[in-house]
Amino acid sequence: MKNTRSTWLLACCLLGGWAQAQTTAASYPDKPVTLIIPFAAGGPTDVVARMMAIPMGKSLGQSVLVENVNGAGGTIASTRVARAAPNGYTIYLHHMGMATAPALYKKLPFDPLKDFEYIGQVLDVPMTLLARKDMPANTFAELLAYIKANKDKVSLADAGLGAVSNLCGLLFKSMIGVDINTIPYKGTGPAMNDVLGGQVDMLCDQTTQTVPMIKEGRVKVYGVTTTKRLAALPNIPTLDEQGLKGFEVKVWHGMYAPKGTPAPVLEKINAALRFAMQDPTVKQRMADLSSDIPPLDKITPQGLKTHLEAEIAKWDPIIRKAGVSAD
């Protein structure tokens, strides 16, 4: 008799919890949603997030508020999201740093494959290698010569271990065989400000930030990190064609939520993401910034999870071989 009662009690609690989750999901969202990004305002990730927030908000019927959580190449923000309440009011936009973090950080306070729900892939963004406007090198060959002749003086900005500007810099330095002084920032927004002001020499950054500076002649640019030239920057050769054979970094992005976020809530967020990625203003702006919106079948939870698993497997040996992991 006693067991039957406790079984009934448990069933009622479980049913009550399920019903509560469905009710929550049904009324979701009934307040603004926070979209966390792991880098400082003004940088390429911030540009993408603020562009998407508007159509996502339209789709959800609530504002999507972008919050910049900086530091440690994005791992502070990833930890914050992994520990956030799984209720759909904290979502996350991060790039391929989600896949490189496990190899870069030996003691990572989160697991990219266990602590998140996957909403969908967002955007693929090429990078450009650039320098301050008065850098005394006008071609890639002159840049290499200048770096080799001034290796203790040249400075390379990035957004910290785990950032793609750091990854691009690591690959560049290892391929040219010169260990250039690296200056970390809270994002490549602030880093770019110092390139424009001449306080730092070089930066490898995403076209979502660099295309306007390049077109306005405010920086010197030496190459793109894709294997084919970019339609928006047809006169800029690839690093591959200038001698860095196989140099390729194209920055993919994903949207995540904390593990345990209810499925009906995730479905609404995925619908808002797909709506944003089909928004004509977003599509045109992304094309102008040389960025590719993935096909709709990749803007899915499985599309992102499968890609993340493949990217972790791809970058792990590359990073370990480069010997750049942090303690």
List of residues contacting ligand ASP (CB under 6 A): 39-40, 43-46, 95, 159, 163-165, 187-189
3-state secondary structure string, 255-287? EEEECCCCHHHHHHHHHHHHHHHCCHHHHHHHH
d(CA 102, CA 94): 14
Q: How far is the CB of 11 from ligand ASP (least distance, A)?
A: 48
Q: How far is the CB of 183 from ligand ASP (least distance, A)?
A: 13
Q: What is the DSSP string of 70-118?
A: --GGGHHHHHHHHTS-SSSSEEEEEETHHHHHHHHBSS-SS-TTTSEEE
- Identity of the residue, 44 or 223, whose beta carbon is nearer to ligand ASP in the bound complex: 44
d(CA 133, CA 237): 18
Q: How far is the CB of 71 from ligand ASP (least distance, A)?
A: 11
- Identity of the residue, 49 or 144, whose beta carbon is nearer to ligand ASP in the bound complex: 49
Q: How far is the CB of 95 from ligand ASP (least distance, A)?
A: 6
Q: How far is the CB of 143 from ligand ASP (least distance, A)?
A: 20
- Identity of the residue, 74 or 301, whose beta carbon is nearer to ligand ASP in the bound complex: 74
Neighbours of 217 (CB within 10 A): 9
- Identity of the residue, 171 or 266, whose beta carbon is nearer to ligand ASP in the bound complex: 171
Q: Coil, helix or strand for 157?
A: strand
Tokens of 3: 């067991």
- Identity of the residue, 28 or 185, whose beta carbon is nearer to ligand ASP in the bound complex: 185
Q: Coil, helix or strand for 37?
A: strand
Nearest-5° angle of CA 140, CA 146, CA 151? 120
Contact 301, 266 (CB under 8 A): yes
CA-to-CA dists, residue 281 to 8, 123, 189, 276, 277, angstroms: 54, 15, 23, 9, 9
Give backbone dihedrals phi and psi of 191, rounded to 5 degrees, phi first: -60, -45
- Identity of the residue, 66 or 143, whose beta carbon is nearer to ligand ASP in the bound complex: 66
- Identity of the residue, 44 or 102, whose beta carbon is nearer to ligand ASP in the bound complex: 44
Question: Nearest residue by C-beta to ligand ASP?
Answer: 43
Q: How far is the CB of 63 from ligand ASP (least distance, A)?
A: 22
Q: How far is the CB of 203 from ligand ASP (least distance, A)?
A: 9
Rg (CA), the chain: 22
- Identity of the residue, 43 or 258, whose beta carbon is nearer to ligand ASP in the bound complex: 43
Q: How far is the CB of 161 from ligand ASP (least distance, A)?
A: 11
